[in-house]
Each structure stands twice: as structure tokens, then as C-alpha cells.
Amino acid sequence: MFDAITVGITKWLVSCFASAIRHTTRAEDRGLAIQWLSESRAVVASDLSPIEKCRKLNALVNSRTAIVAIAKSVSRAVSGYKNSDLPLPMKIALPTTLAAIPLVGGHAVGIAAFGGALGVPVLLLIFLGSAGITSVIEAVVTNPEARPHIAEIIDAIIQDERLRHTSAQMKAAMTEQPMDPTRFAVPEEEVALRSYLLSMDPFQFERHTMSFFDAAGFEAWATRKSNDFGVDGFAIHPDGLMIAQCKRNAADNKVGRPSIQQFKGVVEEQRALRGYVVTTSTFTEEAIESAKLSDKIVLVDIDSLVRWHAEGPTFSWPRRERE
């Protein structure tokens, strides 16, 4: 019962932080909030002593006026928990649960300690831990209004534990000229749809492709700048990184084995969860055979892409152990 209550309180606190950030008036401030959470997550996950964590977290809260405003908003929400929509057992348990946050010398403190109103979010961040802070970030970045500042959001996301195997070079590529996933209006009739996809601007095709990942609930984006990895789009799955290579080829220009082999190397080297090759043409038999040698490569030809438009893709597979 205690665990269920703690989980419920954690979810409520995540929603308090996310709501406070969403209700900021400027998109720039939401970007700053994402950066603040990312830096706070690193502090919480560090080996610093509890008091040093509090000092650093308090400094981060006071770093910008916008962050101070968000912190005060969270404090008000938590202080008014009795008037919230929390179930009664959680309201009863909340003060005791938060008072159990350990600080210096094993002493426990209440939510009003360590600097008054601004101390509350510091203690709440410690309570949430790195996983809870990640949940706040994910709750915020699903907000469409945050999209104009996707670069700041990506900067926070790439510090995520799920990308621990991703190289610094790939992370740099992820941040190079990011583009929002955008579902462009397309014809419903199949022949017209195929023709439209073949005629799309390559960058539009990349954004259009990544919109399917976005619609499935993943944080996703495309990149305008070409990179050494040949990756055009990125998506964050709960189990790790998904990468996509988008080939807006003519119908008779099949994707061959060399392209698949090279892409497989990138997927394996970066220890990505899955790699998608999406094309407006088809694949050679050699390319298909090469892809079958890895359970991480997904080939999406024009027929499959048309089905994506009609039915939506299925981003599911037999669950494997994390590396």
C-alpha cells in the first residue's frame, strides 16, 4: 500500500512541475526550464553529499528569474496539497513521505526547510530522483508549444541515461540543425499518395517520416544537416535510441546492400535500439538479406510507407534485455 501511495505522490509531483513549466508565458522560459531540469538531474545523480546537492540545486533554482517563478509555482501547488485532487490517503501520507527525505547527518527535514519557498522544489527534486526528473522533462516536451525550442529540449534529452551508449559524435549530430517532425497534408487516394511522396522535398520527407514516430508518443526530430552517420532522424524510445535514414528515391532506384551494411554498422556502433531505413522505392534482395542478419534493422519500402499512412506503424517487437 505504501509503495502505491508513494508512486501516486511521485506522479502528482511530476504533474506539478510539468504544469508550472507549461504555464510559463514565454517559449524561451520553457526551454530554460528544460535546461534547468537537465542540470538538476545531473546533480541529483551525482556522488555529492546530500548538503552539497542541496546547495547546487538551490543555486540552479536561483539562476534565472523564470526558474524562480516556476519554483514558486511548484511550492504553492505543493503547499496547497489539501485542496488538490489527490486521493485522501495520498493527502494524509504526503507530509510524512516528503519529511523522510534524508539530508545531512541522517536527519530528516520537512518540505518547508532549506530556504523557505525555494527550498521546497529543491527537496522535491531530491525526492523525485533522476528518473522522476526525466519524467518531468518528458511530460513537458510533449507539449506542442515547446516545439519552437526543440534545440534546448534535445540538449536536455541527449543527457538521458537511455543514451549512455551513444557516442559524443552522434550526440553532436543529433543537435545539428534539428527540425520538428511535421505531418504534411497528403492525398488519401493511394496512387496520388505514392506520387506525392515521390515528389516531396527531401527535408520535408524526413520531417514527414519522423512525424509517425512523434505521433506514436516518442520524442522525435529530423536533422537538416548531413552527418557522417547518414542518419536523418532520431526518436527516443523508453528502451533507448531509434535512428532513421530517409531515402526519397525514384521508384526504380532501389536501396542496395552497401547502404544497409553501412547503416547496420552505425546502429551497432551506437548500440541503438532500432534503425529504420524508410524509402519511397524498394530494396534489393541483397539488401533485404543483409537486414535480416540483424534484429535491429527495420526496412520500410513504399508499400510499407503507404500502410503507415492508412494504419499507422507498429513500434513494437519482442522485448530484449537492456545492455
Report pLDDT for 216: 87
Which pLDDT does position 34 carry in this prediction? 79
Q: How far apart are CA 266 and CA 317, in angstroms?
A: 20
Q: Is this prediction's pTM over 0.75?
A: no
CA–CA distance, 276 with 259 (Å, rounded to integer): 12
Residues 143-147 have a mean pLDDT of: 50
Cell of 282: 524498394
Q: What is d(CA 150, CA 248) in angstroms, rounded to the nearest whole number? A: 24
Which of the pair, 194 or 162, is modelled with greater confidence?
A: 194
Is residue 210 within 8 Å of residue 196, measured between CB atoms? no
Cβ-Cβ contacts under 8 Å for 157 (sequence gap 6 or more): 137, 141, 163, 219, 236
For residues 306 and 323, give the distance between their C-alpha atoms in angstroms, rounded to a whole number.
34
Strands 297-300, 274-279: pairing is parallel
Residue type present at position 115: G
At 159, is the pLDDT very low, low, confident or very high (cuts 50, 70, 90)? low
Question: Which three cell numbers mark 273?
Answer: 535500439
What are 93-114's pLDDT values in tens digits? 877 777 666 543 333 444 444 3
Contacts of residue 117, Cβ cutoff 8 Å, sequence gap at least 6: 71, 72, 75
Task: Give the confidence band of 21 by pLDDT, cuts at 50, 70, 90.
Answer: confident
Band (pLDDT 50/70/90 cuts) for residue 128 is confident
Q: Which residues contact 304 (CB under 8 A, 6 or more apart)?
A: none
pLDDT over 90 (residue 44): no
| pLDDT for the residue numbered 150 | 60
- Grid cell 528515391 is found at 249
- Mean pLDDT, the chain, whole residue set: 82
Cell, residue 198:
515521390
How confident is the model over 243-265, as a mean pLDDT?
96
Q: Which of 29-43, 106-120, 285-299 has the highest mean pLDDT?
A: 285-299
- pLDDT higher at 88 or 141: 88
pLDDT value for 156:
61
Domain limits, the chain: 2-157, 165-311
User: Predicted confidence band at 226 (pLDDT cuts at 50, 70, 90)?
Assistant: confident
CB 186 within 8 A of CB 193: yes
From CA 163, how far away is CA 308, in angstroms rounded? Answer: 27
- Burial bucket for residue 111 (CB in 10 Å: 0-12, 13-18, 19+): buried
Residue 272 has pLDDT above 90, yes or no: yes
8 A C-beta contact, residue 57 and residue 122 = yes
pLDDT of residue 256: 97
**Would you state the cell numbers that stand for residue 247, as one nine-digit string?**
531515402
pLDDT at 107: 39
Compute, in degrees rounded to 10, the torsion defined by CA atoms 203, 209, 300, 261.
50
Q: Residue 232: is its pLDDT beyond 90?
A: yes
Q: Which residues pair with 102 in a beta bridge?
A: 108
Checking if the pLDDT of 146 tops 50, the result is no
- Find out whether 20 and 72 touch, Cβ atoms under 8 Å: no
Q: Which residues make beta-bridge pairs with 244?
A: 233, 276
**What is the rounded distance in angstroms from the CA atom of residue 202 to the CA atom of residue 170?**
21
pLDDT band at residue 47 under the 50/70/90 scheme: confident
For residues 235 and 111, the model is more confident at 235
Cell of 168: 559524443
The CATH architecture assigned to 165-311 reads 3-Layer(aba) Sandwich (3.40)
Mutual angle of helices 190-199 and 302-311, in 10-degree steps: 120
Of the two residues 291 and 126, the one the predictor is more confident about is 291
Q: Which residues contact 58 (CB under 8 A, 6 or more apart)?
A: 114, 115, 118, 119, 122
